[in-house]
């Protein structure tokens, strides 16, 4: 999906949001600004950005990966912290597949030997 990412050009597609749901767009912008405010939160901005980066990696959103990896670095994250965040995200995604695999056994009854 990253081949679709165009930092400068993609903002023109916000026009549909602005024209059709401006109230929701404004509310979302305010919410996002509050979540990523530099001050006034218990979790430091660097860690909130690393969390967002991990979620972006997990959901495979190129926009989130771009924005939050860069914002994390601006907030003081190191290359090692980015790497460790990617590994944490990988472990969670793999763990999710592993544990959801149990549902295959459960739904099919193939493991019900009792």
Banded pLDDT at 9 (limits 50, 70, 90): confident
Tokens of 46: 């660097």
Residue 18 forms part of a structural domain: yes
Q: What is the pLDDT of residues 53-104, one digit of tens each?
A: 999 999 999 999 999 999 999 999 999 999 999 999 999 999 999 999 999 9
The residues, ordered by sequence, that sit 6+ positions from 86 with a Cβ below 8 Å of its Cβ are 54, 57
Q: Percentage of residues in the chain with pLDDT exceeding 70?
A: 96
pTM listed for this prediction: 0.84
Same domain, 77 and 90: yes
101 neighbors 93 (Cβ within 8 angstroms): no
Task: Please check whether residues 77 and 112 belong to one and the same domain.
Answer: yes
| Residue-number span of the structural domain to which 100 is assigned | 42-114
């Amino acid at each position: 999906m990253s081949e679709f990412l165009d930092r400068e050009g993609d903002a023109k597609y916000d026009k549909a949001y602005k024209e059709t749901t401006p109230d929701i767009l404004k509310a979302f912008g305010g919410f996002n600004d509050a979540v990523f405010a530099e001050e006034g939160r218990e979790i430091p901005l660097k860690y909130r950005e690393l969390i967002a980066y991990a979620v972006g990696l997990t959901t495979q959103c190129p926009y989130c990966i771009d924005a939050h990896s860069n914002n994390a670095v601006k907030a003081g994250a190191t290359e090692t912290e980015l790497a460790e965040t990617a590994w944490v995200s990988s472990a969670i995604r793999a763990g999710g597949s592993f544990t959801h695999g149990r549902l295959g056994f459960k739904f099919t009854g193939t493991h019900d030997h009792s």
